[in-house]
Amino acid sequence: MAQTVNAEYSSVLSMFKLNESREEELLDAQNGFAPRMRQLCDDQIADAEDARRDFDLTPEELDALKLERDTWALLQDLYGHPTPTPSPREVLRDNPYTPASRLVHFINKQSRTTEELLIVREWLHSSAPPPPQPESANGYWSFTKQRVLHAKRTGNPKFAESLISELDPDALARAEPGHGLAPEDDAFETALLETLYLHIRAGRVFEAMDACKQAQRPWRAASIRGSILYSASATVSSKHDEDVMDTDSYISSGNKRRKLWKSSCTHAALNPQLSEYERAFYASLAPSSSTLPFILSVCRTWSDHLWARVCVLYEEKLSAELKKIGGGYFEGGYERTRQAIQDPPVEMESDMEDEFIRTLEGMETVSVEDGPGPGDPYHVAQLHIILNRTDLLLEKAAQLFDRIQGPEHPGYDRYIRFFSHLSLYLRHLNLPTPALAVQVILQKYVDLLERTGERDLIAQYAAALGDNSIERYALFLSSLPLDTTVEARFDSLNLAGRYDLPVDLVAKRTAELSVTEALKELPHPLEVVEIDEEADLSLVERFLMRSTEWTISSTVTYPHALLQSNTCIRYFLGVGKPQAAEAILNFLPQDVGSQTSTEEQKAEHIAYRYFIAAWVAYRSVQQVAHSSEARDPDQRYLKDYSAKIEDLKDKTLELLQQDWLQPSYDEDAARDHDLRRIRKMYIPELILRLHRALFDSRKHIPKNHKRVFDLVNIVADQRYNLTLEFSRTGSGQPNKLKAYLAEVEKAVVAGLEKGGSDPFLIVNQ
């Protein structure tokens, strides 16, 4: 059977045990925690987009799934181990002719802010939707060209009065107001520029250049090529480059004068005569504070807005770092570079970090045209991860889930699952995780697993609740349906051990919660209760009866099993349902009292076993007495009948002649009160039962008639204080002593059945 989504997440979590998994395993690029979570999302997306699969998701759910995938990718990118590298100054000292591409590489690795900005920019590139393919070109401004030529041939300037008169690439920049391209060419140019911008947005620079060539716009490809940093194999310092190439085969590429190129792009972006997308195109090639508004003008999604700001921050930070080292030989010249690397370095990291934070905080209120806005939980998560505020993120998530009215909220299950695993991932990495917030989030996820019936997964997440883990898992176990088998209960209990929860403590707490909850629901026993062995148990009573099962799975919890079972048996005897007490004793191990426990609890347990033994013995006598063989008894029957009565007599007298359930008058006044009630309820009943059994059997076993009066003597014996138990405790209670004396009177009268006038003759025989 295919795993559920929750089970798949659980499988990944199981691979990385808290406090045991090494950081390099968690952050492995292929098999780490975040890559595996990202792959789960990719698999779900593939299933949803496969028309042959029955795995339907709404467009909103599919978008949310993609956002979650992107968030896991961001986590992996940002938390991966950086490779130690030398500083750009060291590189330039070793080789002052190091090209810009290598300098930028070392700058990125040395500056934490720059590296993080680069990582986020690359992540935004990879998560951007694929750009559309450009339309097929019909030549270079062919419609405009035809109309201009037609106007000249016909001598009628009206045909070209709103068109440009020159067709060089810069003609539009020089055009008079109101003049431009033919509508067809203008539409193509707009579509092309939008496509080129979307390629830049997705980081597909080389594909953008190919699109320019296909559209017969090679000058635009040249503009894009200027963004490529200069690189030359013969000038690379072999000391700091692992990929050293043969200097005899000189290879160079990229832009030597990138600073000049950026200035030109900025100038174009600021030109109001250019179209919106052309200005955005140039602004995206050379992002800066001055060109940012023109990029933002075409941003539609939240990710677009984030990308625009990150690009500006990265370029400005990179420019500042290059300026600190003189710009390198190809931009600043040898002398300037040499002087810069000799001067003491100027620390700007904290200032740039402050700017980084201020700029990105604006993403919390940005307005978007398409897709989820800044309040989307995944966008909130992404922004806080980038700002390194994951502790605040988890606190906000906990507050959100406290406000949300449960699973009816759209996307609730997906959000709570994501934040639960995010909090555990951060905890695995020893990053700040507010304990209370994590507890709230995991509690909600455990609630979700309970709601979806995925019981086997609950222990894994309950174990992560810290101080509350035992309480939460015990709460789950105590809520299992009544029809759950003992084996299934023990399996669920033992799952706790797999995730390092103390099974004995979980079992004890589960039993405590079960008893407490049941007794809270059940009415308090009345002072006057009729014993009813045939009465059905209510659901709550059955729940109470089974509560002790949790503590008999291990000998370690036997002392608690003794305590819990005594509590339950007291209740059931107190409400006149000894059959439930018998059932509890039947499933308790015989050696349950062998482990360390108080002598008082052991004595109470043994007293209940004595009682049930006598109670069951009477039932056995009744079964034999009312069997079909009783009508025509033979020797075998009489022998069996006599043995059953002997057993009943021995067990009942053994109980009566000891201090059965005598209160200890300890600090537990409620317990003492219950024990006194039980004695008053059952000692008279046991005496009456033995009396009836002896009296009813007198014809088959004559000596039992005399034993009836022997029992009277025992009841009257002050050593045992049995007559006190016949006294009434309330006006509504039946007079049991009167009932017993009536039975004795019958026995006396029956002694005269054989003749004679001495009623005590039977006693003296």
Confidence of residue 571 (pLDDT cuts 50, 70, 90): very high
Q: Are 312 and 287 in contact (CB under 8 A)?
A: yes
Long-range CB pairs of 160-169, under 8 A, 24+ apart, other chains included:
167/140, 167/141, 169/217, 169/219
For residue 270, with 0-12 CB atoms within 10 Å meaning exposed, 13-18 middle and 19 or more buried, which class applies?
A: middle
Check residue 268 and give its pLDDT. Answer: 94
* Cα 116 to Cα 387: distance, rounded to the nearest angstrom: 10
Report the percent of the chain where pLDDT is more than 70.
85
The pLDDT tens digits for 611-629 are: 999 999 999 999 988 887 7
Q: What is the pLDDT of residue 245?
A: 43
In single-letter form, the type of residue at position 280 comes to A
Distance (Å, whole) CA 95 – CA 93: 6
Q: Which of 322, 111, 268, 298 is nearest to 200 (CA)?
A: 298
| Burial group, residue 175, by CB count within 10 angstroms (0-12, 13-18, 19+) | middle
pLDDT of 246: 45
Query: Would you state the pLDDT for residue 755?
Result: 60
Q: Residues 86-113: what's their mean pLDDT? A: 68
Position 588 pLDDT exceeds 80: yes
413 touches 449 (CB < 8 A): no
Checking if the pLDDT of 243 tops 50, the result is: no
616, two tokens: 């069951």
pLDDT mean over 312-329 = 76
Selection from 21-30, 447-456, 661-670 with the highest mean pLDDT = 447-456
| DSSP secondary structure, 695-716, as one string | HHTTTTSTHHHHHHHHHHHHHH
Domains, the chain, ordered by start? 88-141+182-243+250-364 (1.10.3450.20), 598-764 (1.20.190.50)
pLDDT surpassing 80 at residue 79: yes
Say how many C-beta atoms besides its own lie within 10 A of residue 534's C-beta: 6
pTM: 0.79
Q: Judge whether 33 and 12 are in contact, CB under 8 Å.
A: yes
List all residues 6 or more positions away from 129 whose beta carbon is below 8 Å from its beta carbon: 202
Residue 260 has pLDDT above 60, yes or no: yes
pLDDT tier at 754 (50, 70, 90 boundaries)? low
The string of DSSP codes covering 117-183 is: HHHHHHHHHHHSPPPPPPPPP-SSSHHHHHHHHHHHHHT-GGGGTTB-S--STTHHHHPPTT-B--H
Mean pLDDT of 628-653: 87
Q: What is the mean pLDDT of residues 535-549?
A: 88
pLDDT classification of 442: cutoffs 50, 70, 90: very high
Q: How confident is the model at residue 247 (pLDDT cuts 50, 70, 90)?
A: very low
Average pLDDT value for residue range 80-105? 64
- What residue has token string 């896991």? 72
CA distance 254 to 609: 93
pLDDT score, position 69: 97
